[in-house]
Amino acid sequence: MKKPYAPESSDSALFRSEFTDVKPIKQDKIPPQRLSSKHKSADLTKKHDPLSEVKQRNATFQFSDGFEGYFDSNQPLKYVQPGADSYEVKRLRRGEYPPDLILDLHGLNKEQAKLEIAALIYAAQKQHFHCVCIVHGIGSFVLKKNVPNWLIQHPAVKGFHQAPLEWGGQGALLVLIDLPQVHSKY
């Protein structure tokens, strides 16, 4: 029969002799408070880059909730900015323009959605993206009703059309963005 492994007695004795005067420490401190996720997200927002405020100001556009456009309920949701080419919106419907950016508004309230849409349009213009997709969902129809009314207020929106099924169908819009003209020095 084998003996279980035991440390050599001299090592064990040496170890004990070195730590004879050591006593366990009693906890006399209050443990750190664990922050809820609400506090954590507030702390994270405080630690942002200094340019974020400038970016946010540039990306905001004041949408009005009081403005309501007319959309024919018997047809797919679409809009063409006065003076813009309606053929471009037809190309949206056909799926000829895949979106360069996709914004999903699920889980956002109206105010958050407004800010995100304004930021999306700003980002699309800055990055020279011609087509974006806004997924508003259907849900309680709050965003489905308001998003088109907000979009027709923005001067950079050339038009939009209800998205084809592969991009969200009735719960999404494909939006054409008017890109700023790049001026050459030559």
Q: What is the pLDDT of residue 37?
A: 57
pTM: 0.64
Tokens of 103: 């914004």
Q: What is the pLDDT of residue 48?
A: 53
- 61-108 pLDDT per residue, tens: 677 777 777 787 778 888 888 888 888 888 888 888 899 999 999 999
Positions in the chain short of pLDDT 70? 1-8, 30-61, 182-186
- d(CA 152, CA 111) in angstroms, rounded, equals 17
Q: Which of 71, 13, 61, 12 is nearest to 177 (CA)?
A: 61
Q: What is the pLDDT of residue 31?
A: 67
